[in-house]
Amino acid sequence: MNTINIILVSVCFLFLIFSLHLFFTNRDIRKLTRFLSIIIFTRVGQIIILLLANHHQLGLFPFLYIFFTPLYYIIPACLFLYIKFFVNDQKQLTTKEWLHFTPFIIAFIHFIPLSFDHQVNWEAVANLVSQSKNIFITEKTGVFPAIFMASFRIALMVSYLSMSWITLINSKLFKQKKWRANKIWLFFILTAATLFHAISISSLFIQYQFNSFPWFLTLHCIALTFVILYLLHKPNLLYGYLLVNVNIHKKQANSSFIRKDKKTEDFTGTPYNPISLDNEQYTVDQSLLEMTMSTKKPFLDPNFQILDLANLLGIPVHQCSQIINNHIGKNFRDWTNRYRVLYFIEMYPEKKNQLTIEALANESGFKSLTTFYTAFKKETGVMPKQYFSKE
């Protein structure tokens, strides 16, 4: 039992950090990651509440129960919207889609008037949570009847899960014959969600058969561990759809430049050759890198990283690193700063009367003035004022 609790606490901590990272990510896929972060965050909360209930720790139990329970009613909608946004490349919620959050408002109203009310028997609620795994609570916890809130939650789970599967199966993405990374990812998270919901609902029917063993928490632990192991085993999913920005519908430009002698897939789902590149291939890919930097100017983003460059090119990160380090002869930071310095030199005559050196440096992609001066002198051998005074 102690070992299981230690594992569960460790998994909860990892997923809590992961969900916060997803929620505050500053990417074009922010809406997608926030839907997913709410789902993960709430699942962690459910496990924490179950642990407190099983060990009769009633000190924090009322507060955490009131905090997390309204979020339970938003998980089904977040899952459906995540699938819908993903397959349709949707960026913003429509007016009608905000109605999906109505169950959360109902649950919020349910708890607020009676928050920490002495009329609520929290010990009885904790016992029911432990028995029914926080699905079917028949003890009064708020304004609405307990039977209504429990039935309402189960109905939301079943209906939204069905809508999510229908949306995925009817999408153009799912109808593609090849199982690329984006298709695998959606199928994976929807299957995982179905498994979680099935485990939760099944507890209503088998709750009296295994009371001597924490089977529900154990199954959750196994399921969450499986999620971690699967993501570690499939880094193309982890780095393609969670930790970096990926345009899932955009075909990778100039993919014909990439060798395809032995096909596999990188994190964007684009075929590439993992074999070492020869000199001719290095030359071709170096030209592709330089053309991308010159035309698209991704270096203007102060947070531009090598993962973003790999995404733009449709090639794996290690291949980008090999070309920059071994063939161009620079590390990624110096190579990127070189483009920023060249951009600054190009724009300075035109904007010197409108912007300060610091403002133009920031516009060129530098995060600080110190970094700009260091990079400028490294590239030109002199400071900006000396450089432009020569011209």
At 190-201, the pLDDT tens digits run 888 887 777 677
Q: Check residue 219 and give its pLDDT.
A: 66
Question: Is residue 1 scored above 90 in pLDDT?
Answer: no
What is the average per-residue pLDDT within 100-121? Answer: 78
Say what the pLDDT of residue 177 is: 79
Q: What is the mean pLDDT of residues 84-107?
A: 88
Give the type of residue at 233.
Answer: H
Tell the burial category of 119 from Cβ atoms under 10 Å away from its Cβ (0-12, 13-18, 19+).
Answer: exposed
* Alpha carbons 356 and 104: distance in angstroms, whole number: 49
24 φ, ψ (degrees, to nearest 5): -100, 10
Dihedrals phi, psi of 44, to nearest 5 degrees = -60, -45
Convert the pLDDT of each residue in 233-286 to its tens digit. Answer: 655 555 555 554 444 444 333 433 333 344 444 433 444 444 344 454 455 567
For a pLDDT cut of 70, what percent of the chain falls above it?
A: 71
Q: Where is pLDDT greater, at 115 or 113?
A: 113
- Specify the CATH superfamily of domain 255-390: Homeodomain-like (1.10.10.60)
| Of the candidates 17, 22, 26, the residue with the CA atom closest to the CA atom of residue 35 | 22
What per-residue confidence (pLDDT) applies to 166? Answer: 94
Q: What pLDDT score does 338 carry?
A: 92
Which pLDDT belongs to residue 102? 93
Is 90 exceeded by the pLDDT of residue 165? yes
List, for residues 264-278, the tens digit of each pLDDT value: 444 334 444 443 444
Mean pLDDT is highest, among 131-145, 217-231, 321-335, 373-387, for 373-387
DSSP letter at 265? E
Q: What is the CATH T-level fold of the domain 2-241, as seen in this structure?
A: Rhopdopsin 7-helix transmembrane proteins (1.20.1070)
Beta strands in 84-134 (DSSP E): none
pLDDT at 2 over 70: no
Query: Residue ranges of the domains in the chain?
Result: 2-241, 255-390
Residue 383 pLDDT > 80, yes or no?
yes
pLDDT value, residue 280 = 47
Q: What is the pLDDT of residues 20-33, one digit of tens each?
A: 877 776 555 567 77
The Cα–Cα gap between 58 and 63 comes to 9
Mean predicted confidence (pLDDT) in 299-323: 83
Res 94 pLDDT > 80: yes
Domains 2-241 and 255-390 share a fold: no
Q: What is the pLDDT of residue 162?
A: 94
Strand partners, 118: none
Q: How confident is the model at residue 212 (pLDDT cuts 50, 70, 90)?
A: very low
Res 160 pLDDT > 90: yes
Q: What is the mean pLDDT of residues 354-368?
A: 91
Highest mean pLDDT among 60-69, 136-145, 282-291, 330-339: 330-339
CA distance 62 to 123: 9
- pLDDT of residue 108 exceeding 70, the answer is yes
What pLDDT is attached to residue 179? Answer: 78
Q: What average pLDDT does range 358-370 have in this prediction?
A: 91
What pLDDT is stored for residue 16 in this prediction? 81
Asked whether 102 and 185 are in contact (CB, 8 A), the reply is: no
